[in-house]
Amino acid sequence: MGYVWLSFLFIGLLNFHDPLLSERQMSALAFGLVAALCWGFHDVCARFLSQRTAISSCMFTVLLIGLIFHSVLTLTTSTIEPMPKSAVYLSIGSGIFFVIATFGLYYAFQRGPVRLVSPLIAGYPIISVGWAVFLGDPVSGFQWLAVIIIVAGVSIVAVLSDSSDDDIPPIGLTIVFSIIAAIGFAGTFALGQSASALSDDMPNTLVTRLTAFLFLATILILLKQPIWPNRQSLPWLIAMGLADGIALMCVLSAGALPDAKYASVASSLFGMLTIILAWIFLRERMTKSQWVGCAVAFLGVGYLAV
């Protein structure tokens, strides 16, 4: 429950309509915000590790640590019970989509530029909310507007963070990879949250984790990519794996809560939080316009909390 109260602070600062919302009303957005913070930390670490460690090694180690983390957590905190077949299938699908999203994200950012890639990937909440509407979950016009405002705020920060003028590859394939990543994240969360609504969220997320790791390992081995990192990078990769494990667990666990779709929406702030954390720890510059983008995104989250 510490995750809920940590994120309650973020939302409560913006909630000027009704500051006395119940914990249960807040929890889906709260879990999403914790996920965004963890993935933001993950991406900050990746920014300097990518200079010294192969991307394939980073992905392999992060998913392995996430699998170990969730295995230990499940065995020590949950009662192991048989999962319905439908929940198993949904969790397996979620794991496959997570690997697809990971590859799409890394390859999109490898090609760049950030000002093109980040807004496209950050648009996955629109897919998530649209899917929820398709399944019959009511969403008002103002809630749609809040989702779009969040995506716009994240995009403003991302676009203004990219000041590079280097030559970039043709953008067509970059757009494809970015859209693949967005669809991958939306699919991961939609299937994983559906599984959590049918069965206990801890075993479901463990199946997702196991599927993602085995799927990724198989691809890397078939492509003969390096999988073991150097010793200097290992402590950071372990921290990244734990952060990734907490983040995915938060978003998928929201599946059993009201308005689970908004955990996916809030988690999309990770790109913006990456830049804020880089400002704090790496001393990278944040402009006034970027701070305006941050305020816009959090105002959107604050409205959804009402």
Q: What is the pLDDT of residue 16?
A: 34
Q: What is the pLDDT of residue 167?
A: 62
Q: Would you list the domain boundaries of the chain?
A: 2-304
Find the Cα–Cα–Cα–Cα dihedral 38, 43, 44, 46, rounded to 10°.
130
Q: What is the pLDDT of residue 192?
A: 93
CA atoms within 13 A on the CB side of 133: 11
Element (H, E) at 263: helix 261-267
For the chain, give the number of residues.
Answer: 306
For residues 135 and 89, give the distance between their C-alpha atoms in angstroms, rounded to a whole number: 18
Q: What is the pLDDT of residue 15?
A: 40
**Would the pTM of this model clear 0.85, i.e. be above it?**
no
> Does residue 43 contact residue 272 with C-beta atoms inside 8 Å?
no
Question: Token pair 């280097």 is at which residue?
Answer: 166
Averaged pLDDT, groups of 10, the chain, 306 residues long = 37 38 60 91 79 86 94 81 90 96 84 75 88 86 91 86 67 88 93 90 91 96 91 91 93 86 89 83 82 90 79
For residues 129 and 186, give the distance between their C-alpha atoms in angstroms, rounded to a whole number: 9
Q: What is the pLDDT of residue 22?
A: 42
Closest Cα to residue 212, out of 108, 291, 97, 72?
Answer: 97
For residues 262 and 146, give the distance between their C-alpha atoms in angstroms, rounded to a whole number: 11
For residues 58 and 43, give the distance between their C-alpha atoms in angstroms, rounded to a whole number: 11
Closest Cα to residue 143, out of 297, 23, 262?
Answer: 262
